Structure 1
């Protein structure tokens, strides 16, 4: 099942979430002509706590989802709250995995997902942040974070028959900046039965990691791909010729990390406005700006859907796939949101779902 992530919708109470699903998810499902539509729910910390504390509220919320033909396989528990504030930037990485609030929020999400999980789901997944922004971070923090994951795993074990698995999502600029960082940190520190990887293909592309080599490295590790966030980065082959075009993407709400590959080295800038001052400008840039999967921007800009296609073709097993273009509200000329989400899901089904081979 392919889901779309509801962190695109600015709702931080149950009534608001239901209203957004009625306004957007239901028409998307109808436009696609599907009996069921997968939604990867984002629940702010207060919403998750309220639902976790009230079994009847969870039952009522499940009824609202069922009534609209919406199925839940996965939650996005990366943003803790305020994801549509005027300025989010580094705040999205708080609280970090050394803080009790992060543990409590994640356990609340486990409780909620246990009751919302679709009947045909083999497992449920919860994506989460790659520990914290990269600094400050110490060896003591490593130990504290590992202990925090153990607390969540204990809570998962108490939920019932169908497993729920955490999916740690590497992101440029964070403690676990790359997939290689995540594999190195997770291996030997967490229980791989319950904690694995969320492979965000925008983040992977921004890092300039080879997708096929990355999949091979994951296969050799003891870490599973639990979830894939199907996403595309902004690609600029010649940044010096694209300054005006890029300027329209330098918006104030979200952090847009930039990487440049030149001279065999990946150079780094933490946000798009800083990239002009800090990067050589001699090689291609990739920008952490989630671009619609089905649309190619006007030249000289492009996207990294080729990375996404390569990952999808080489995926082992059947991890959850979640289309995560949360940037519709800050995209230049975004257009109709229902039409955009529906078009992305159609593209994802056509390009990411493996065809069954008959015997």
Structure 2
């Protein structure tokens, strides 16, 4: 099978970077800007996974996505959707089985939502190892917790895409492979590759990370970043050379969305959404032509806002 050029990649923007907008408004904005899809983080302001009538609300969102021509992936990284006092809590790694079960339940809901929306993947991450917990125990809890989620994902036909997250138990692509082997390499277990995280801490350059991850790639997040600093940055503010990354991604034959991930810039989400797509398109065009990086445009922070 021949793979298309980088200009054929499908770009999306994450709703965790548009947290001050109603979901209908966020989807309309992204469609108007020309995005191909959306990374939908299930959260209290955007298709709350815990509120009543989830199935009916999901059907309305599915209709809205279809009307706007937007693809979707479902993300589960909301900071306080389960616990209003503990960021990303409870996690798959908590000592209390009931706490772990709450996280599993969120993922099972996400799988049902993803199936109803026609999403190409459900994203998740491991969480941070709790104090006093040894790594073997943490890995055991994580793997066991994912079993029912993977069963549901397999039944629904929507792959689970686990993201290596700096500071988490599963922090690197190598850690993903450890999990994959532990679980017996299930077909419905895939990888969410965050390009910024590759720049931050992976031993390979981002383009090489993409090539190495190709067989397991199910979801891609993208933003700029600097080596050794886990800070999601607007394009042009970090160190990543994007045309080789996009060329590598296109060469894998990846068919899903490549979603801009700027949650800490949500205060100016429409501004950064407007700037990000032209940057990515210029980088994709450069990749298709020469592989040279276009000169980054300075992304001005809107007057009166703070980062």
User: Is the 1:150–1:190 Cα contact (8 Å) retained in structure 2?
Assistant: no
Q: Deviations over 1:33-88 (max 9, x none)?
A: xxxx311111117712347x54332222212223333222x1111225369x9xx9
Counterpart selection for 2:260 from 323, 333, 347: 323
Secondary structure at the aligned position of 2:50 is classed as: helix
Higher normalized contact order (CA 8 Å, seq sep 6+, divided by chain length):
2
Supply the distance in 1 between the matched residues of 2:274 and 2:212 (Cα, whole angstroms). 37
User: How far off its partner does 1:318 sit?
Assistant: 1.0
TM-score by length of 2: 0.73
Q: Deviations over 1:182-230 (max 9, x none)?
A: 22233232543111211111111111521355456546xxx61211212
Supply the distance in 2 between the matched residues of 1:115 and 1:197 (Cα, whole angstroms). 21
- Could you tell me which residue of structure 2 aligns to residue 292 of structure 1? 234
Structure 2 unpaired stretches of 5+? 1-9, 94-99, 291-307
User: Is the 1:202–1:304 Cα contact (8 Å) retained in structure 2?
Assistant: no
Secondary structure at the aligned position of 2:80 is classed as: coil
The verdict on how the C-alpha distance between 1:40 and 1:134 changes in structure 2, with shifts beyond 3 A counting, is same
User: How far off its partner does 1:148 sit?
Assistant: 1.3
User: How far off its partner does 1:18 sit?
Assistant: 1.6
- Could you tell me which residue of structure 1 aligns to residue 248 of structure 2? 314
Supply the distance in 2 between the matched residues of 1:125 and 1:17 (Cα, whole angstroms). 19
Supply the distance in 1 between the matched residues of 2:154 and 2:285 (Cα, whole angstroms). 36
Q: Deviations over 1:102-154 (max 9, x none)?
A: 11111111111111116xxxxx211211x121443432332222121110112
- Could you tell me which residue of structure 2 aligns to residue 78 of structure 1? 77
Counterpart selection for 2:218 from 220, 226, 250: 226
- Would you say how many aligned residue pairs link Structure 1 and Structure 2? 266
Whether 2:4 is the aligned partner of 1:69: answer: no
- Could you tell me which residue of structure 2 aligns to residue 267 of structure 1? none
Supply the distance in 2 between the matched residues of 1:142 and 1:199 (Cα, whole angstroms). 20
What does 1:153-232 correspond to in 2, within 5 Å?
Answer: 153-159=150-156, 163-189=157-183, 191-211=185-205, 214-215=209-210, 218=213, 224-232=216-224
Supply the distance in 2 between the matched residues of 1:26 and 1:185 (Cα, whole angstroms). 36
- Cα RMSD for the two superposed structures: 3.3
User: Is the 2:91–2:103 Cα contact (8 Å) retained in structure 1?
Assistant: yes
Supply the distance in 2 between the matched residues of 1:20 and 1:335 (Cα, whole angstroms). 8
Q: Greater CA radius of gyration, 1 or 2?
A: 1
Counterpart selection for 1:151 from 148, 152, 164: 148
- Could you tell me which residue of structure 2 aligns to residue 121 of structure 1? none
Counterpart selection for 1:28 from 28, 33, 40: 33
User: Is the 2:222–2:259 Cα contact (8 Å) retained in structure 1?
Assistant: yes
Whether 2:24 is the aligned partner of 1:18: answer: yes
Supply the distance in 2 between the matched residues of 1:78 and 1:188 (Cα, whole angstroms). 23
Moved more, 74-83 or 63-72: 74-83
Supply the distance in 2 between the matched residues of 1:57 and 1:228 (Cα, whole angstroms). 26
Counterpart selection for 2:92 from 87, 97, 117: 97
Counterpart selection for 1:346 from 281, 298, 307: 281
Supply the distance in 2 between the matched residues of 1:353 and 1:192 (Cα, whole angstroms). 34
The verdict on how the C-alpha distance between 1:154 and 1:170 changes in structure 2, with shifts beyond 3 A counting, is same
Supply the distance in 2 between the matched residues of 1:97 and 1:339 (Cα, whole angstroms). 35
Supply the distance in 2 between the matched residues of 1:304 and 1:192 (Cα, whole angstroms). 35
Secondary structure at the aligned position of 2:220 is classed as: strand
The verdict on how the C-alpha distance between 1:233 and 1:336 changes in structure 2, with shifts beyond 3 A counting, is same
Supply the distance in 1 between the matched residues of 2:89 and 2:182 (Cα, whole angstroms). 25
The verdict on how the C-alpha distance between 1:154 and 1:312 changes in structure 2, with shifts beyond 3 A counting, is same
TM-score by length of 1: 0.64
Secondary structure at the aligned position of 1:290 is classed as: strand
The verdict on how the C-alpha distance between 1:114 and 1:353 changes in structure 2, with shifts beyond 3 A counting, is farther
